[in-house]
């Protein structure tokens, strides 16, 4: 088991899949991280040296991930609601925010637009 940023990963797991389990790290960010540390896509977590794990953990720790990113998103939505913008009102009503059609897709939008409202 390899310990990266508070999570234990089995040694047989691909590194790219392990990185994408963190909220805020998608395919593009993961590719940038792996190219920064000169890691191939087929490398497994167990193949990393201890220094590589420490460098990777330090880099991930400097990014906004997981709860910190979720908190930032919720604060941004709350700021839009407090200022009374159109987007803030749409968030408050659980309606599509970015100009989508509400005639036929409102049920999907309400299901997908579930962010913790305060």
CA-CA distance, 25 to 64, in Å (whole number)?
A: 9
| This prediction's pTM | 0.73
Which segments of the chain does DSSP mark as H helices, in order?
15-19, 27-36, 50-62, 66-83, 86-92, 102-112
Q: How many residues does the chain have?
A: 118
* Same domain, residue pair 10 and 50: yes
pLDDT at site 56: 95
pLDDT digits (tens, 9 = 90+) for 44-99: 999 999 999 999 999 999 999 999 999 999 999 999 999 999 999 998 888 888 88
Task: State how far the Cα of 60 lies from the Cα of 25, in Å rounded to an integer.
Answer: 9
Amino acid 113: pLDDT: 65
Whether residue 74 sits in one domain with residue 45: no
Confidence category of residue 5, pLDDT binned at 50, 70, 90: confident
Q: Residue 25: which CATH number?
A: 1.10.8.50
DSSP reduced 3-state for 7: strand
Domain count, the chain: 2
Domain span including residue 88: 67-112
117 part of a folded domain: no
pLDDT tens-digit map of 17-26:
999 999 999 9
- What integer pLDDT is reported at residue 100 of this predicted model? 79
Cα-Cα end-to-end distance for the chain? 39
The yes-or-no verdict on residue 108 having pLDDT over 80 is no
Determine, yes or no, domain membership for 118.
no
Q: Does some domain include residue 55?
A: yes
Examine the domain organization and report whether 55 and 26 are in the same domain: yes
Are 31 and 79 in the same domain? no
Tell me, what's the pLDDT at 99?
Answer: 83
Note whether 14 and 57 are same-domain residues.
Answer: yes
């Amino acid at each position: 088991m390899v310990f990266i940023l508070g999570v234990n990963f089995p040694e047989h797991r691909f590194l790219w899949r392990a990185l994408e389990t963190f909220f805020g790290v998608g395919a593009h960010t993961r590719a940038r991280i792996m190219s920064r540390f000169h890691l191939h896509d087929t490398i497994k977590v167990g193949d990393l040296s201890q220094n590589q794990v420490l460098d990777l953990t330090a880099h991930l720790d400097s990014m906004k991930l997981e709860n910190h990113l979720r908190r930032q998103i919720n604060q941004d939505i709350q700021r839009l609601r407090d200022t009374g913008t159109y987007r803030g009102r749409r968030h408050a009503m659980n309606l599509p925010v970015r100009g989508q059609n509400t005639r036929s897709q409102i049920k999907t939008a309400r299901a997908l637009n579930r962010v913790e409202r305060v």
